[in-house]
C-alpha cells in the first residue's frame, strides 16, 4: 500500500472501485433473491414446499461451506476470488432467460442456479470485507467498513423494492438477464483495482480446522458478540419462513398484482434508506449499545403486519410491514457490524466474517424448508404468524443482556465489558 492516503475514502480510487463493485453485487444479489421466486410462482407454478426448497438452496452454502470459506479466502488472492465469483453468478443467471426464451425453463434448473449463485455469494461476501485492509490505511478501515456495510444493508432492502418496481415494466426472466450484466459490471470494477493483492506465506499456514476454529472462537467467546449472533441467527430463521411464503401470499392469497407487489416492496426500500440515514443519529441519541436491542424491539409490531394483511387493507399493511421491518433491520445491522469490525484483528477478518455468516445465515435454509413445510401443512397465514412470533424469541438475547444498559460499546477486544472478555487474540 502507498504511504500516502487521501483524507476521504471517496477520493481513494481503489476503495471507490471496491465500493462500486460491492454495491452493484449486493443489489444484484437482492434482485435475484426476489426475481427467482417470482419466476417460480408465475411461470413454473411452484408449490409452498417447492418454494421452501428454492429458498433453502439460495442460502444453503452459508451452512454447508460458510466456515471453511473464510479460511480459504484468507489463503487466496482476494481480488481473484471476487472477480471469479462475479463471473460465475453472471453465467449461471444468464442461463435462465436463455432457457425461458427457448421454452426450456424448469424448476430443476432454477434450483441449480439458486445453489450456484448462493455459493458464489458466500465467497464474494467474505472476500470483499476481508479485502479492505489491503487497500486502505489502518486508520481508514472503520470508515471503509461503515461505507461498505451501509451499502450492503441498504441493498438488502432497496434491492427487492427495485425489483418489484421493475417487474411492473419487464418480466422476471428479462430482469434476471439485466442482473447477470450487473455482475459483469462488478467484476469490471474489481479488475480496475491497482493495489497489489498479496497472498499470505504458504509456510505460515496451519491445518484448516485450526484456522476455522480461531474465527469461530473469536465470535462465540465474546459475551456481547454471541448475544448479537444469537439474535441475528434466530431472526433470520423466522424471517426466512416469511420470505419463503411472501410472494405466494401476496399473489395467490391476497390476489395482489405483480405491480402492486412492487409498490409494497418499494416501501421496504424507503424504510431501509431511512434506516441508513438515521442509524448514526439514533445510536447517538439512545447510545450505541442500547441502539441494538431497541431497534430489534421497534421492528416487532411491523413483523405482525404481514399476517394481519389478510384481514383488511392488504397492500397498506404489507407496505407497513416492509417499511418498518427494513428500517429496524438496517439500523441494527449498521450498529452491530460496525461494532464487531472494530474488535477483529485484520488477519482474522475473513474467518470472523465467515463464522458470523455461518451462524446467522446458516439458519436461513432451515427456515426456508420450515416455511415450505409449515405452509403446506398449516397453510400460508398460520405459517406467517409463526414467522412473526419468532421475532419475539429472536429479540430475547439482546434485550435480556448488558446491551440494554450500555451507552457505549468497547472499541477493542480486551476492552472492559459487563462480563469477563477473553483477552487472547487468536492468530
Phi/psi zone of residue 406: left (φ > 0), alpha (ψ -120 to 50 degrees), beta?
A: beta
Instruction: Tally Cβ neighbours within 10 Å of residue 384.
Output: 29
Q: What is the DSSP letter of 256?
A: -
Q: Is the pLDDT of residue 2 over 70?
A: no
**What totals of helices (H) and strands (E) does the chain contain, helices first?**
15, 0
pLDDT-derived band at 412, boundaries 50, 70, 90: low
pLDDT of 120 strictly over 80: yes
Query: H helices within 192-257, ranges in order?
Result: 208-220, 223-248
Contact (CB, 8 A) for 123 and 69: yes
For the chain, the structural domain boundaries read 12-195+206-405
**Tens digits of residue pLDDT in 327-372:** 999 889 888 877 876 777 767 766 787 788 889 988 999 999 999 9
Instruction: Name the CATH superfamily housing domain 12-195+206-405.
Output: MFS general substrate transporter like domains (1.20.1250.20)
pLDDT in tens, 122-175: 898 878 767 877 788 767 766 776 677 677 766 766 676 677 777 777 788 988
Mean pLDDT of the chain: 84
Check: pTM over 0.85? Answer yes or no. Answer: no
Q: Identify which has the larger pLDDT, 129 or 118.
A: 118
The b/e string for 6-38 (b: 16+ C-beta within 10 A; e otherwise) is: eeebeebebbebbbbbbbbbbbbbbbbbbbbbb
Amino acid at each position: 500500500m502507498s504511504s500516502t492516503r487521501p483524507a476521504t475514502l471517496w477520493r481513494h480510487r481503489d476503495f471507490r472501485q471496491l465500493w462500486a463493485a460491492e454495491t452493484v453485487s449486493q443489489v444484484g444479489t437482492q434482485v435475484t433473491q426476489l426475481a427467482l421466486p417470482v419466476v417460480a410462482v408465475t411461470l413454473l407454478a411452484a408449490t409452498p414446499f417447492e418454494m421452501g426448497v428454492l429458498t433453502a438452496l439460495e442460502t444453503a452454502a452459508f451452512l454447508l461451506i460458510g466456515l471453511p470459506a473464510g479460511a480459504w479466502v484468507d489463503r487466496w488472492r482476494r481480488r481473484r476470488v471476487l472477480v471469479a465469483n462475479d463471473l460465475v453468478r453472471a453465467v449461471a443467471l444468464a442461463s435462465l432467460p436463455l432457457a425461458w426464451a427457448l421454452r426450456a425453463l424448469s424448476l430443476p434448473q432454477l434450483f441449480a442456479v439458486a445453489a450456484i449463485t448462493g455459493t458464489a455469494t458466500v465467497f464474494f461476501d467474505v472476500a470483499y470485507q476481508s479485502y479492505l485492509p489491503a487497500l486502505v490505511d489502518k486508520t481508514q478501515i472503520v470508515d471503509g467498513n461503515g461505507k461498505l456495510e451501509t451499502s450492503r444493508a441498504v441493498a438488502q432492502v432497496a434491492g427487492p423494492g427495485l425489483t418489484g418496481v421493475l417487474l411492473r415494466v419487464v418480466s422476471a426472466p428479462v430482469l434476471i438477464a439485466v442482473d447477470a450484466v450487473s455482475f459483469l459490471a462488478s467484476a469490471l470494477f474489481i479488475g480496475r483495482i491497482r493495489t497489489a493483492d498479496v497472498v499470505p506465506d504458504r509456510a505460515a499456514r496451519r491445518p484448516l480446522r485450526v484456522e476455522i476454529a480461531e474465527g469461530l472462537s473469536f465470535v462465540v467467546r465474546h459475551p456481547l458478540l454471541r448475544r448479537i449472533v444469537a439474535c441475528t441467527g434466530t431472526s433470520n430463521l423466522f424471517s426466512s419462513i416469511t420470505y419463503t411464503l411472501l410472494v405466494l401470499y401476496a399473489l395467490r392469497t391476497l390476489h395482489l398484482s405483480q405491480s402492486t407487489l412492487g409498490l409494497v416492496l418499494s416501501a421496504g426500500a424507503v424504510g431501509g434508506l431511512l434506516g441508513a440515514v438515521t442509524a448514526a443519529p439514533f445510536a447517538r441519541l439512545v447510545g450505541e449499545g442500547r441502539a441494538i436491542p431497541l431497534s430489534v424491539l421497534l421492528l416487532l409490531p411491523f413483523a405482525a403486519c404481514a399476517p394481519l394483511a389478510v384481514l383488511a387493507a392488504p397492500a397498506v399493511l404489507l407496505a407497513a410491514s416492509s417499511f418498518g421491518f427494513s428500517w429496524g433491520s438496517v439500523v441494527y445491522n449498521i450498529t452491530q457490524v460496525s461494532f464487531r469490525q472494530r474488535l477483529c484483528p485484520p488477519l482474522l477478518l475473513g474467518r470472523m466474517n465467515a463464522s458470523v455468516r455461518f451462524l446467522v445465515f446458516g439458519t436461513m435454509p432451515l427456515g426456508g424448508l420450515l416455511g415450505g413445510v409449515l405452509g403446506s401443512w398449516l397453510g400460508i397465514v398460520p405459517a406467517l404468524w409463526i414467522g412473526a412470533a419468532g421475532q419475539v424469541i429472536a429479540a430475547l438475547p439482546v434485550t435480556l443482556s448488558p446491551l440494554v444498559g450500555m451507552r457505549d460499546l468497547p472499541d477493542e477486544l480486551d476492552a472492559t465489558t459487563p462480563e469477563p472478555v477473553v483477552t487472547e487474540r487468536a492468530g
